[in-house]
Amino acid sequence: MGLAMTADPHPLFDSWFAEARQAEPNDPEAMTLATADADGRPSARTVLLKGHDARGFAFYTNAESRKGGELAANARAALVFHWKTLRRQVRVEGKVEPVSEADSDAYFATRSRDARIGAWASDQSRPLESRAAFEARYAKLVADFNGKDVGRPAYWRGYRLIPDRIEFWTDRPHRLHERRLFTLGPEGWTEGLLYP
């Protein structure tokens, strides 16, 4: 049976993501984010997808974290979604740009108060002398913010990966997997197949 080819991978991603939200028991929005520093040394970690549309894939973090520093030095990155229950994977590559300040503010406001205070308490990716020191810092900020709005720290922001390559992988028997690759060129998206 042949595949229906399409000119745009985003509706296909939305369809797969909707299925993952129904099928995956935990964190269907979890994605591995791979970045590299200015010397090309890679690092990867799991973050959460907080928005997807034709502009790209959005996530939020501390801009002063290791990933933030790597994105400042090298604004290309890759994402991997692995939905084990569905036996599917999506790989995304492209350029990363900051989202607007307004979008960062709007998303930060949706987080729980405790998570907003946590963003203030964490010097993400920096050495920590002890867990007790972090918990004490958090408790002090809870007290400091008592009765006050917890606004977004200037160093906490959103990023959007603007894809130029998206691969949809489906498990098949005998390791004869299906790989659909979309690439963005001057004329728009094109789709092809890859050997497994």
pLDDT at 86: 96
pLDDT at 173: 87
The catalytic site residues sit at 175
Residues 6+ apart with CB under 8 A from 23: 83, 85, 86
Q: For 67-77, what is each residue's pLDDT tens digit?
A: 999 999 999 99
Asked if 73 and 38 count as a contact pair (C-beta separation under 8 A), the reply is yes
pLDDT at 1: 42
Residue of 76, 86, 92 whose CA lies nearest to 31: 92
How far apart are the C-alpha atoms of 150 and 119, rounded to whole Å? 10
pLDDT at 125: 87
Q: What is the pTM of this model?
A: 0.91
pLDDT at 2: 46
How far apart are the C-alpha atoms of 90 and 15, rounded to whole Å? 12
**Weakly modelled stretches of the chain, pLDDT under 70:** 1-6
How far apart are the C-alpha atoms of 163 and 185, rounded to whole Å? 11
Homologous superfamily assigned to 9-111+155-194: Electron Transport, Fmn-binding Protein; Chain A (2.30.110.10)
